[in-house]
A and B are shown apart, each in its own frame.
Chain A
């Protein structure tokens, strides 16, 4: 299957870059959700005038869709773990959290924090927010992008 591709270059679909090297339990749901949502995106952009302004930006829609799915499956959960670690270790009550043989300690949390900070910086740089990933229907996601695009058009006009 294509999500086993590991070498990223400019022609590699973003979803393959995101899912490569991740274990099946995580990569398959991400890949599957992306596949059916991106199919919907293509249909919506192709058939509905409302979404027409996004048609010429299908490549960006693809990247942002993949990123939002990645957020919902991965980033949000890492964020939750980091907060719980803070609660458990505040006032030096515990040194770390163990889940089976895995140890969520200060070193692990530093790695998680570095990912979360880099992710937020990426969003901020492009005027995006975490809310871009808060949708259930693909139409909601496209409407958010459309809103952003209208706002951007207005900003650059001024």
Chain B
């Protein structure tokens, strides 16, 4: 690091309220300098969010002791399936392998793969992320009237799934997720889902937005009834949620009674702003 850089880093921070003109100038200049690059990425922004959630799930499996690596590369490229269209074999996915003393367990983590309903064989829904048994993707030409190939995974081969939403949560979004759970794994609704070994993450609803008190209550209520994970504010909480220390806070597939995390979430160890904010909001006085 050069002397000038060191000097820059050790300078006391400026105040946004006292150095107003400088802040305005800096924000404007940052936007103007990077606008071309951002405009260039604009079409992919929502795909990028889905990608980062996919990355958290891959991380989860890595931290749980699986050997995880990309598979199905297409000419050396990882081809990301960002819509429900297309044949799965033309896209990439991740392979997750768990080796125990006696056995090797192999799974795959896919994006946008159709999954057969638990209620009727010929109907499907497509979660954003699916964890399935290895080499279990099926192909048929009977699904579409045009007889084109359709790729899906059979109900017996789906292990778990995640839905990703890049916006602020609202009550109906959370309740609608239970509809998907009912379609893909109704045993969760009667708390009779199978315990899987090795353990797998329970169905997740992953949301970028921040919840209000009502949504936190809904999450608490749904999670007390069903073995699912509802994750809010992913941009800010994901590093903690998917950290090795608190990984056991995420539920795994199986009955609710199986969820006994050893770690406890930090209550007094919030970040600087959160600490101040929460205290002050309680004292909010409206005139």
Binding site for B on A (CB under 8 A): 8, 10, 14, 17-18, 20-23, 25-26, 47-50, 57, 59-60, 63-64, 66-67, 70, 72-74, 76-81, 83-84, 87-88, 91, 93-100, 102-104, 108, 111-112, 114-115, 118-119, 122, 124-137, 139-140, 143-144, 146-152, 155-156
CB neighbours (8 Å) of B276 from chain A are 144, 147, 150-151
With beta carbons under 8 angstroms apart, the residue of A64, A81, A132, A134 that contacts B235 is A134
Q: Which 8 A-B pairs have the closest CB atoms?
A: A80-B52, A127-B13, A147-B276, A136-B210, A81-B48, A77-B48, A76-B235, A94-B78
What is the bound-complex CA distance between A26 and B18, given in angstroms? 32
Q: A97: which of B35, B37, B77, B166 is its contact (CB, 8 Å)? A: B77
- Taking CB atoms and an 8 Å cut-off, the chain B residues in 18-69 that contact chain A are 18-20, 23-24, 26-28, 30-49, 51-55, 58-59, 69
A sample of 19 more A-B contacts (CB under 8 A), given A78-B41, A125-B14, is: A8-B28, A20-B35, A48-B287, A50-B284, A72-B235, A76-B235, A81-B47, A84-B55, A87-B59, A94-B77, A96-B78, A115-B37, A126-B23, A131-B272, A143-B284, A147-B276, A152-B16, A152-B17, A155-B15
A99 touching B14 by the CB < 8 A rule?
A: no
Residue in B19, B32, B59, B78 whose Cβ sees the most chain A Cβ within 10 Å: B78
Out of A10, A50, A83, A155, which one reaches B285, CB within 8 Å? A50
Do B281 and A140 have beta carbons less than 8 Å apart?
Answer: yes
Contacts of B33 in A (CB 8 A): 118
Task: Count chain A CB atoms within 10 A of each CB in B42, B92, B168 and give the residue with the most.
Answer: B42
Across-interface contacts of A79 in B (CB, < 8 A): 52, 235
Contact between B271 and A129, CB atoms less than 8 A apart: yes
Contacts of B45 in A (CB 8 A): 26, 73-74, 77-78
Is B277 among interface residues, defined by CB-CB distance under 8 A?
yes
Q: Is the interface of A mostly helix, strand, loop or mixed?
A: helix
Closest to A21 in B: B39
Partner of A126, one of B19, B39, B42: B19
Instruction: Decide yes or no whether B175 CB sits under 8 A from chain A.
Output: no
User: In angstroms, how far is the closest chain B Cβ from the Cβ of A76?
Assistant: 4
B77 close to A77 (CB less than 8 A):
no
Are the C-beta atoms of A143 and B280 separated by less than 8 Å?
Answer: yes
The answer to whether the Cβ of B273 comes within 8 Å of any Cβ in the partner chain is yes
Number of A-B contacts (CB under 8 A): 218
The reply to whether A136 and B48 contact each other, CB–CB distance below 8 Å, is: no
Report the separation of the CA atoms of residues A8 and B29 in the bound assembly, to the nearest whole angstrom.
10
B77 to A103, Cβ gap below 8 A?
yes
* Cβ-defined contact, A112 with B42, below 8 A: no
Interface residues of B in 204-228 (CB under 8 A from A): 208-212
- Picked from B55, B77, B168, B236, the residue with its CB within 8 Å of the CB of A87 is B55
Would A99 and B287 count as touching, CB distance under 8 A? no
Q: Is B73 interfacial (CB 8 A cutoff)?
A: yes
CA distance A114 to B272 in the complex (A): 27
Interfacial chain B residues near A150, Cβ < 8 Å: 276
B16 and A136 within 8 A (CB):
no
Residues of B within 8 A of A48 (CB): 286-287
Determine which of B32, B208, B212 lies in contact with A137 in the assembled complex, contact meaning CB atoms within 8 Å: B212
What are 7 A-B pairs with beta-carbon distances under 8 A? Answer: A93-B69, A127-B14, A128-B16, A131-B236, A136-B168, A140-B281, A147-B276
Contact A50 B286 (CB under 8 A): yes
Closest chain-B Cβ to A124's Cβ sits at a distance in Å of 7
Contacts of A81 in B (CB 8 A): 41, 44, 47-48, 51-52
- Min CB–CB distance B93 → chain A (angstroms): 11
